[in-house]
Structure 1
């Protein structure tokens, strides 16, 4: 039986910003641009969920905003803004629709991965598409078979966030070696060389459109891939080309920060909606406004403090990751493990903040036209991401504290 293909949109590439337009964008200006999009993103959140993909008009508006140039190096015409600007520019999108925020921030961040490819490849790719819209999919890994001039790539990958509007795809694959562990390679190929299978039917995060991706014996030139291991510690081509800092920072903490921003956005929006509801709601049987109820006040306060604590952790971790790229192994692995655990706890705080707000509001939160129920469902799916498995993250950190080696490859 033939599996249904997803109705994706490969960009036409006719809406890139001019050099003059990009030169005029400051970090503060980009943040203002994404804030201005928040009403549109919120308006389309419910329909995006029904369509199981980011809304096309919203996505096109994000393209025109300059947001996707965030992590493209200046050398190749990008903005190359710092992680704190990245967080601040993403939050308005994530507040309006965590699923759209999730998809957008991964699309922007994956240009960091392009910066790990050989310099000639970067010039070709960003010369063709001034920023890349690509999923980066690790599991389950495909197979990379060496051939003359490159590799033959085959596999089926799940969790293809960004694929519905992608012009490229980044796919993890294993190159088998006799008598040695396989090499994990990240492969870049045009989006029209893969099939996207319509599999994304989820209780939350539905609007991400994270469908399965299939590649069947696709040739990938040698220059369009990199070995993942050195990039994990910030020792890839990004450091060789651009020096320490953003492109020489360790890979996994960057992923953890990226995936935490939508959870923070959901928490902040839940707090705002909860506050509005409490001001205007009269509790049945009492005749008093809910805002006068101490328990409601305490719940709102607790949620606010949880979100504030999480935001401090996430922003600090993003900055700290730039510094730990300068630490050598094995000490750096210990620091990466700690950052992963800290951000995992921050995400749990965001989830707790959303739940607390929903408890304060009452049964009306579960009406399908109430955006809070979507926030709740979205964060519940978000927290299941592998890097936020709190048991795994804290076990790794605990092992490091007592001098035991890590028992996971996701470092």
Structure 2
């Protein structure tokens, strides 16, 4: 197995990726590290991932990791995808965030009716999809599909994409708004407008602008029912029947937004160590302070613990899907909480390092501060709000029924 560069988040530290292609992808992510760090200021200033970085991701094959083989993808285990994301986030969290939430859509498209994949990739399998899953769309059922209108926020990487996944609830006579009738609608760029309004204190480079749709037709085959994703029995499984595509949708998606925080925390630790090697507190070097040493050790151990938890959970889920067995609901509830709590833990540890670094940490240009604000911004994503998932998990532990179908 390849040896990682010093300080890198590598599966080689604690985990086997198991294939030459996986190791090549991880090595490509490591190799991009210096240029991503160099572009990070540009990424923040322009409020989008540079086109050159998206091109680098294409060239490295990162967008193919979860894409079906019939469309030129690699159909790799999700563990590979997340290990690559961890390494990218170590250098630029915004770039890792966009890679995560855009590349994961190539997995979701595989569980749509295969005609949807043909619509998107028929002429060019490198076409990308952005998303905004909030159930804010107005839907009117019509013959052959639906009329869709609405305005969605937080569509990360939208300027680099030619299609969008948008969330809405299909009304029925008995239930005008029932999340059991939630669907994802697939819409081409010609049917929506991007509103440039991404003005934030962290994750500036994600370019998570609003998307507006005004009464467009979406055919039935370009929709995906959330309940099908929960049951792991989707229209696309008629064609894409590999174990990878039998995973619950939300289990795959939510790791794309917690992974970036975890990788960024490693980047913060790298920076903290470098600061501590040179900063003096009175006559002493900061790195000689026992409290600083203990903090660095705690952060490193916490990173490894969270990383291994995420990988272990996917090992268990993939083992079930390979065996053709359902993933136990009580396990899915725990996996969902394990993911959501990552952002909380990363923010707390990042804040402690920022405080320990002293007054220099709050100056503009401080990488510790910039990463801390990126991790803070990640908590705004609903998937990283751990409270409802903790409540659901606690209820299940006390013998109640699971009430969350986004697991």
Fold similarity call, TM over 0.5: yes
Distance 1:313 1:349 in 2: 13
The answer to whether the 8 A contact 1:98-1:375 is kept is yes
Determine whether 1:108 maps to 2:103. yes
Tell me the CA shift for residue 324 of structure 1: 5.2
2:207 corresponds, among 197, 209, 224, to: 209
The answer to whether the 8 A contact 1:317-1:339 is kept is yes
Give SS of 2:212's match: strand
The answer to whether the 8 A contact 1:111-1:132 is kept is no
Distance 1:122 1:407 in 2: 31
The answer to whether the 8 A contact 1:253-1:321 is kept is no
1:44 matched to which residue of 2? 39
Distance 2:248 2:147 in 1: 28
> Runs of 4 or more off by more than 4 Å in structure 1?
323-328
The correspondence of residues 233-252 of structure 1 with structure 2, limited to 5 A, is 233-243=231-241, 245-252=243-250
The correspondence of residues 127-142 of structure 1 with structure 2, limited to 5 A, is 127-142=122-137
Distance 1:214 1:343 in 2: 30
The correspondence of residues 44-83 of structure 1 with structure 2, limited to 5 A, is 44-83=39-78
Number of residue pairs matched by the alignment = 384
2:181 corresponds, among 175, 180, 183, to: 183
Tell me the CA shift for residue 224 of structure 1: 1.5
Distance 2:150 2:318 in 1: 33
Over aligned residue pairs, what C-alpha RMSD do you find? Answer: 2.1
Q: 1:352 to 1:233 in 2, by over 3 A?
A: farther
The answer to whether the 8 A contact 1:252-1:336 is kept is no
Tell me the CA shift for residue 261 of structure 1: 1.0
Calculate the TM-score normalised by the size of structure 1. Answer: 0.88
Q: Deviations over 1:128-184 (max 9, x none)?
A: 231342122111431232223322111111111121211111111222111244722
1:12 matched to which residue of 2? none
The answer to whether the 8 A contact 1:257-1:317 is kept is no
Give SS of 1:169's match: strand
Determine whether 1:317 maps to 2:313. yes
Q: 1:189 to 1:128 in 2, by over 3 A?
A: farther
Calculate the TM-score normalised by the size of structure 2. Answer: 0.89
Give SS of 2:155's match: coil
Q: Which moved more, 1:315-324 or 1:55-64?
A: 315-324
Tell me the CA shift for residue 244 of structure 1: 5.2
Tell me, which stretches of 5 or more residues in structure 1 are unaligned?
Answer: 1-24
2:349 matched to which residue of 1? 353
Give SS of 1:170's match: strand
Tell me, which stretches of 5 or more residues in structure 2 are unaligned?
Answer: 1-19
Tell me the CA shift for residue 69 of structure 1: 0.9
